[in-house]
Amino acid sequence: MREKWKNNFSEWYNEIIEKAEILDIRYPVKGLYVWFPYGFKIRKHVLNLIRNILEEKNHKEALFPLLIPEQEFSKEAKHIKGFEDEVYWVTHGGLEPLNVKLALRPTSETAIYPMFAVWIRSHSDMPLKVYQIVNTFRYETKHTRPLIRLREITTFKEAHTAHASYEDAERQVTEATEMYKKFFDALGVPYSISRRPDWDKFPGAEYTTAFDTIFPDSRTLQIATVHNLGQNFAKTFNVQFENRKGEQEYVYQTCYGISDRVIASLLVIHGDDRGLCLMPEVAPIQIVIVPIWFKDSERDVDREAEKLKKELKDLRVHIDDRDVRPGSKYYDWEIKGVPLRIEIGPKDIEQEKITVVRRDTCKKQQISRGNAARKVAEILSSISEDLRKRAWGEFNEHVYFAESLGEAKKIISEKGGIVKVWWCGEEACAKEIENEATADILGIVNESSGGKCVRCEKKARSMLQLGKAY
């Protein structure tokens, strides 16, 4: 049931995005797509989850402008360097050329931190934790792909924090990492966490931590990043505070983000050849009731369906009463990934039962009508649990350790996934390893008992994680 999903992933993905009504790819600008209402609802539930997690940890939602004046955008040298190929510029207001060019935000540090400089006065103003969920624009020159590589990132959740000490900023990095773990666990999206190499971190950051997942085609996808910014941006944007000794000091900052890729992962990782299989937590419709009509029983069946829907009022339930054959209804809802289907026919009513079909296993069972509400809730939570378990099981099967560079290369080309190798810590070695293995460095993980660098055979202090990244 996962033949196409696994062996012809690209085709599966393009088809499902359209057939399940996630995105319409026919918008006439490359890399820009339209959210269908159904896809948009999934997005809404995903965002509710992350909002709740952030708010629990005292993050406040804000909204900063889309346009960033050139002089602010260009202040942080590394930052502008990192983004210069990707920025869209607004150069005209009507027919008039603008005195100051305006960037469409590719990310919002340079929009937010000048305001932090105004807002923050003393140590008592911190920690300051804000976030926004907005669209950002990047002029991607690589092949664009819905939800994965976009020119308009429609769902960019970026959090930005300021702290009175380096230690507190470090604590924030840990908190952010924990929040993202909780978020991905809720979505059943497995991940590996590693530190980006110094030469490939977020432009302007002290260091960057990344979350990567693995797709059915065995390529890896970076799905979240957490950055410790140190005082780099604070110095550039003059974000100072009065510390406890009464002296002026630059703040310590962090930022962390996720994007549409989270939604891509959620759709892809649990899917199969029949279509999506949504986690109940984020499914716009958790249960679809399909009335099975026979002559003379239509009204009884409809009445029973309505009655059941009322009993399931805490869940998102839809009755599909379209005038089409039940088989084609099943087909439609399977593509859309509704976690549970309930069929009610005259026989079920007579036997005081209902028939339920799980989307993840496609197994059919009858349950007694009497305690349907409780039973159905139980089945939904076991669907979540099973999807999560299956996803992690598959992920772990695709994480490898290679003793040598040759072995790493072989695994990368034959199996894909994530391959770990010992590394001495030298950039030159890492770049050689990357080239030789024809892979990307996803990040670095610290391992205590060191082996030998697969390139130079010197004592290794950490491991590189390699993969073919999207």
Positions in the binding site for Zn ion (CB under 5 A): 424, 426, 429, 453, 455-456
> Of the candidates 451, 396, 390, 387, which has an alpha carbon nearest to the alpha carbon of residue 424?
451
Give the nearest distance from C-beta 455 to Zn ion in angstroms: 4
First to last CA, the chain: 25
Give the nearest distance from C-beta 428 to Zn ion in angstroms: 8
Give the nearest distance from C-beta 180 to Zn ion in angstroms: 31
Contact criterion met (CB below 8 Å) for 386 and 423: no
What DSSP line would sit under 409-445, residue for residue?
Answer: HHHHHHT-SEEEEEE-S-HHHHHHHHHHTT-EEEEEE
Give the nearest distance from C-beta 399 to Zn ion in angstroms: 22
Decide whether 251 or 424 has the Cβ nearer to Zn ion: 424
Give the nearest distance from C-beta 412 to Zn ion in angstroms: 18
Q: How far apart are CA 151 and CA 259, in angstroms?
A: 12
Q: How far apart are CA 205 and CA 201, in angstroms?
A: 7
Decide whether 424 or 442 has the Cβ nearer to Zn ion: 424
Q: How far apart are CA 61 and CA 54, in angstroms?
A: 9
Give the nearest distance from C-beta 463 to Zn ion in angstroms: 12
Give the nearest distance from C-beta 207 to Zn ion in angstroms: 20
Decide whether 57 or 431 has the Cβ nearer to Zn ion: 431
Decide whether 100 or 428 has the Cβ nearer to Zn ion: 428
Decide whether 126 or 453 has the Cβ nearer to Zn ion: 453
Decide whether 282 or 408 has the Cβ nearer to Zn ion: 408
- Helical H runs in 163-228? 166-187
Residues paired with residue 226 on neighbouring β-strands, in sequence order: 209, 256
Q: How far apart are CA 104 and CA 219, in angstroms?
A: 30
Give all strands (DSSP E) within 114-258, no chain letters. 128-137, 152-163, 192-195, 207-214, 220-230, 240-242, 248-250, 252-258
Query: What is the DSSP pairing of strand 340-344 with strand 287-291?
Result: parallel
Q: How far apart are CA 383 and CA 385, in angstroms?
A: 5
430: CB partners within 8 A, 6+ apart: 197, 423, 441, 464
Decide whether 282 or 419 has the Cβ nearer to Zn ion: 419
Give the phi and the psi of residue 94 in degrees, each rounded to 5: 60, -125
Give the nearest distance from C-beta 437 to Zn ion in angstroms: 14
Decide whether 171 or 452 has the Cβ nearer to Zn ion: 452
Decide whether 186 or 437 has the Cβ nearer to Zn ion: 437
> Of the candidates 150, 260, 221, 207, which has an alpha carbon nearest to the alpha carbon of residue 442?
221
DSSP one-letter code for 452: B
Q: How far apart are CA 466 and CA 407, in angstroms?
A: 12
Give the nearest distance from C-beta 426 to Zn ion in angstroms: 5
